[in-house]
Structure 1
Amino acid sequence: MKQIINLLLLSIFSLQTYAQAIYEDERYVPETDPLVLEKLDQWQDKKFGLLMHWGAYSQWGIVESWSLSPEEYAWCERKKGSNPNDYFAYKKEYEGLKNTFNPVNFNPEKWAKAAKNAGMKYVVFTTKHHDGFSMFDSKYTDYKVTDPECAFSTHPRANITKEIFNAFRDEAMWVGAYFSKPDWNSKYYWDPMYPPKDRNVNYAPGENPEKWSKFVTFTHNQIMELMTDYGKVDILWLDGGWVAKASKKEIVDWFTRKLNNDNDEAYLKHRMVNQDIKMDELVVKARKKQPGLIVVDRAVHGKNQNYLTPENRVPEKMLPYPWESCIISGGGWSHTPDAKYMSGREGIHMLVDIVAKGGNLLLNIAPSPQGEWQQGAYDLLKEYGDWMDVNSPAIYGTKPIAPYKENNICMTQNKEGNVFLCYLAAEGEHTLPSEIIVESLTPKRGAKIKMLGTHTNVRWSPLDKGFKIKVPEKIRGNPTSKYAWVFKLSGVEGP
């Protein structure tokens, strides 16, 4: 019965995420800053990035910070610690993980090289998750990796965020700072005078303006540390979308629907609290330090969400704004012992599908408490790298071309007008068919087609609807890559 309840809760969460995505789809606010627009164009050409969730919680192999939130979701269950049934004892023990966090095998250069070889172009690292544990040397908290009570603080690379940013920049990759707006360790967010009710602030900010102002200042100070002391930062990736300005009308509407027992559980699941973090002011300050900075204030309607982030899902269609699917590669967002990673075929097909729809893939890999990646992560990235060595022209710097996908063939187009047809091989399919038919496009007269990884043009012939590629025997039995085969078409007729 418990498993059934957990599945139902997970389904509700999935529906909530989906409903939120639809809501965002209708309300995207385009950027106007020319430097940001230029940077967004560059980011959209990069296509493939790395996300890393890492913190002291990795020692327990749990779902990041969420067991601290007193909400009835499966991912908030307390499964570790000596007394998980006593919330306050559990919270104290959880926060004590700071003292034993000691990732002595931390080697960000190894990660950066593996990511680069896989074809990744940027990294987004969790500088702070909702629990408030700072993976950087913040002056504004003792709950951090560089605090003297943390076992790793004496290590020469204790300022983990700085080390990661430097290692990835050295591989010519962009860096992004994931930062959680809520902070469940801060006394100005979860006042220890009151028990937390849920993920939200546990007091009324409007009735305690001085206390809330201290939290806003604390948040701005920490983010400005990252913008000032950590070199070039390309993306500020903010999580905790419930920390946002809410109008009186939105709050009244929420309470009215709650009292009327409205069916929209996705909307009513959490309290509506006005948590104005003064984001507009913060973004102006941040961009003075980091001109052109891409800001992703996730799930908050407005100008500070420069691109949208469907979470752990791939949209069914092309989306009319900049977007990025953040996807778990194996296990969970945070370290999962003995995690099972997606196969090379699954990962490559996912990347191709996302890019054909105009998006980027941000693939999550979670380091262990020792500071290592599991071998499954390296194996997956090796599969990506081998495929990208041959087929990357179909990925980088491309844009969608309708109808984006026909049966098992995804389509992209580069700035020169070349079209790439990505044939997604079925499970167990290791040789190409003798003929490939595409009905939705018509090649220009005299157009040339060749398979990426070869230097020989292949024959094609027009059909009443579309055209047919005739695949030579020597290519059929000896494809240039695994899992997906790409044909470059020099041009197509317009609509």
Structure 2
Amino acid sequence: MKKLAILVAGLSLAAVSGLALANEKPKSMDELWGETEKLHAKYANADRGNWFSEDKYSLFIHWGLFSIPAGEWDGKTYYGISEWLMTKHLAGIPVDDYKKLAKEFNPKSFDAKAWVKLAVDAGMKNIVITAKHHEGFAMYDSPSHDFDVTDASPYGRDPLKELADECAKAGIGLGFYYSQNQDWYEQGSADIPWTSAQQKVILPPTIKIRWYLKLLSY
């Protein structure tokens, strides 16, 4: 009976904590970047980063649905980083409205070979490109869902597979930027927690209990 009472109390505490997080005042972009800078400073001298320091010169490409509005929504321009346009900190675009951009995504002029040649000719050692940014749109043929470049867009090709093939031929490194927790499309992510009113799925009681226990373990 005591164990049951402790579990119930713990679930209640987790529920209150979860609601508090959901109602937390949104942070400004400067505050969000400030937290990121602290992490950068913490890991800047880690051994795993030695190869990066040695290679020095690389090409970083942000590419996704955000390339279409390019910082503009409903006649208003949002200055800063256009790939964050969807977030509540900027335009606050609803998922159902934002996902319609996929039907317009058709980069017919994409040439993986030309991109790689540009990087190699410039003396770059690596290319890092967005595989999935916070908007949730996968720039590759994802087996997890259909909100990706091959299934949801008229383009119908996998540009990252083509880029990977060309990088292999040229002997240049390739890395992917993939956003997992900070996903504004998927439910249960940082922007749409399980306690959020935006949730569209009613979880079975067993899953809810597991989620609360997981929260207690942090």
Fold agreement, TM-score > 0.5: yes
CA deviation vs aligned residue, 1:126-179 (integer Å, no higher than 9, x gap): 0000011001111111110111x42111xxxx1111111222222211110110
Q: Does 2:60 align with 1:51?
A: yes
Please give the alpha-carbon distance, in whole angstroms, between the structure 2 residues aligned to 1:175 and 1:247.
38
Which residue, out of 55, 59, 70, partners 2:88? 70
**Where do 1:175-254 residues align within 5 Å?**
175-181=174-180, 182-189=182-189, 190=192, 194-195=197-198, 208=208, 210=210
**1:185 Cα deviation (Å)?**
1.6
**Structure 1 residue matching 2:58: 3-state secondary structure:** strand
The alpha-carbon distance between structure 1 residues 133 and 22, as it changes in their structure 2 partners (threshold 3 A), is: closer
**Where do 1:373-392 residues align within 5 Å?**
none
Q: Identity across aligned pairs (percent)?
A: 25
Contact 2:129–2:175 under 8 Å retained in 1: yes
**Where do 1:397-416 residues align within 5 Å?**
none
Q: Does 2:37 align with 1:21?
A: yes
**Where do 1:278-289 residues align within 5 Å?**
none
CA deviation vs aligned residue, 1:158-214 (integer Å, no higher than 9, x gap): 111111122222221111011002222223433697238xxxxxxxxxx9365699x
**Structure 2 residue matching 1:151: 3-state secondary structure:** coil
Alignment match, 1:129: 133
Greater RCO (Cα-Cα under 8 Å, separation 6 or more): 2
The alpha-carbon distance between structure 1 residues 93 and 15, as it changes in their structure 2 partners (threshold 3 A), is: closer
The alpha-carbon distance between structure 1 residues 24 and 137, as it changes in their structure 2 partners (threshold 3 A), is: closer
Please give the alpha-carbon distance, in whole angstroms, between the structure 1 residues aligned to 2:187 and 2:34.
33
Alignment match, 1:61: 70
Q: Does 2:174 align with 1:170?
A: no
Contact 1:123–1:175 under 8 Å retained in 2: yes
Which residue, out of 138, 154, 162, partners 1:151? 154
The alpha-carbon distance between structure 1 residues 22 and 102, as it changes in their structure 2 partners (threshold 3 A), is: closer
**Structure 2 residue matching 1:177: 3-state secondary structure:** strand
The alpha-carbon distance between structure 1 residues 29 and 135, as it changes in their structure 2 partners (threshold 3 A), is: same
**1:15 Cα deviation (Å)?**
6.7
The alpha-carbon distance between structure 1 residues 20 and 141, as it changes in their structure 2 partners (threshold 3 A), is: closer
**1:124 Cα deviation (Å)?**
0.6
Please give the alpha-carbon distance, in whole angstroms, between the structure 1 residues aligned to 2:129 and 2:31.
27
**1:25 Cα deviation (Å)?**
3.2
Please give the alpha-carbon distance, in whole angstroms, between the structure 1 residues aligned to 2:195 and 2:35.
34
Higher strand share: 1
**1:246 Cα deviation (Å)?**
8.9
The alpha-carbon distance between structure 1 residues 17 and 55, as it changes in their structure 2 partners (threshold 3 A), is: closer
**1:46 Cα deviation (Å)?**
1.2
**Where do 1:90-489 residues align within 5 Å?**
91-147=95-151, 149-153=152-156, 158-181=157-180, 182-189=182-189, 190=192, 194-195=197-198, 208=208, 210=210
The alpha-carbon distance between structure 1 residues 174 and 24, as it changes in their structure 2 partners (threshold 3 A), is: closer
Please give the alpha-carbon distance, in whole angstroms, between the structure 2 residues aligned to 1:141 and 1:48.
34
CA deviation vs aligned residue, 1:63-122 (integer Å, no higher than 9, x gap): 444233222xxxx136xxxxxxxx54xx32211111221111110111111111111110
TM-score normalised over the length of structure 1:
0.31
5+ residue gaps, structure 2, are 1-27, 72-80, 200-206
**1:22 Cα deviation (Å)?**
5.0
Contact 1:57–1:94 under 8 Å retained in 2: no
**Structure 1 residue matching 2:85: 3-state secondary structure:** helix
Contact 2:127–2:172 under 8 Å retained in 1: yes
Contact 2:66–2:85 under 8 Å retained in 1: no
TM-score normalised over the length of structure 2:
0.64
Please give the alpha-carbon distance, in whole angstroms, between the structure 2 residues aligned to 1:212 and 1:61.
38
For the aligned residue pairs, the C-alpha RMSD in angstroms reads 3.5
Structure number, greater radius of gyration: 1
**1:29 Cα deviation (Å)?**
7.9
Alignment match, 1:320: none
**1:30 Cα deviation (Å)?**
3.9
5+ residue gaps, structure 1, are 1-11, 32-36, 79-86, 197-206, 214-244, 249-273, 275-495
**1:21 Cα deviation (Å)?**
3.2
The alpha-carbon distance between structure 1 residues 195 and 59, as it changes in their structure 2 partners (threshold 3 A), is: same
